[in-house]
Amino acid sequence: MRFAVDLEISGIKIAQSLEFIRNEEAVTGYVYEYYGVGDKAIKTTALFTSNENYTIITGDKRETDDMLIEAYEEVYDSQTGEYIGAEVTETIKFVDYDTLWFNLYDVSGFSTVKVEDAQNGVNADTVYVNGNANPFEPKNFGGIGLDTLSRRYDIEMKEVWYIVATEKEGEVVYESEKALIPMLFVNKGKMSEFPEDVIEKNDYLSGVSLPDSDAITVPFESSQSTYLALKELVTYEELQEFINS
């Protein structure tokens, strides 16, 4: 199944293409979006893969001059829709990172979390865990290098959107709702050191361990390489040709 649209909103030309292909027990989807025309266009590409176990979305969630994301993969449980986690490869100020994101409730050793939208010089938000009066503290890479002040791990609030079905006047209406969820990120190269690192900085914690990450890391290599090969493969002109055919 494939469809595409070409429209103009507030003087901005928009072209979008969505394609799904079923192969045995899996479905693969390709999304291409263009906002603008030619070299001035803002381009978005996404790769979807879904089977009975996992649904994986790979894209480039954000791109700026000093934060170039090579690939961002989100993994969901196909049966429940649960957000399992994510992996992202990115370049920040000339340093390459590979980072995993976990739902905090999947990480052993954490029972409660409280977040205040306040700067404290420690983390992006002021985060308290397990009822402790002191903010949760990350550990930096250390050593000598461009990444010395980068965090090995931390807790941040992630914005998640849901499509919710509600009944209004006898009809089912689908609406989008936003939620903020606490997630733990860990540098992939520091995962084995995480239990010791986090307790070193937060000695009130115990029994800390990460969940199994295979559902995130195993498909990432193939989804990353496939996504990069597909990225911007379809041109604006090809979308126009398909729409007009």
Distance CA 97, CA 89 (A): 6
pLDDT tens digits, 184-230:
999 999 999 999 999 999 999 999 999 999 999 999 888 888 888 88
Query: Do 88 and 21 share a structural domain?
Result: yes
Residue 132: which domain range?
108-210
Query: Do 78 and 24 share a structural domain?
Result: yes
Query: Do 92 and 4 share a structural domain?
Result: yes
Query: Do 49 and 10 share a structural domain?
Result: yes
Determine the average pLDDT of the residues in 232-241.
78
Mean pLDDT is lowest, of 28-42, 80-94, 105-119, 168-182, for 28-42
State what percent of residues in the chain have pLDDT above 90.
Answer: 47
Query: Do 120 and 91 share a structural domain?
Result: no
Query: Do 234 and 156 share a structural domain?
Result: no
pLDDT category at 124 given cuts 50, 70, 90 is confident
Query: Do 90 and 47 share a structural domain?
Result: yes
pLDDT tens digits, 226-235:
888 887 777 7
Query: Do 134 and 70 share a structural domain?
Result: no
Query: Do 76 and 10 share a structural domain?
Result: yes
In a 13 Å sphere around the CA of 60, the CA atoms on its Cβ side amount to 22
Specify the number of domains making up the chain. 2
Q: Is the torsion defined by CA of 113, 115, 120, 123 positive or negative?
A: positive
pLDDT category at 73 given cuts 50, 70, 90 is very high
With a CB cutoff of 8 Å and minimum separation 6, the contacts of 226 are 47, 58
Query: Do 243 and 202 share a structural domain?
Result: no
Query: Do 225 and 204 share a structural domain?
Result: no
Amino acid, single-letter form, for residue 225? S
**Residue 57 CA to chain centroid, in angstroms?**
9
Query: Do 126 and 80 share a structural domain?
Result: no
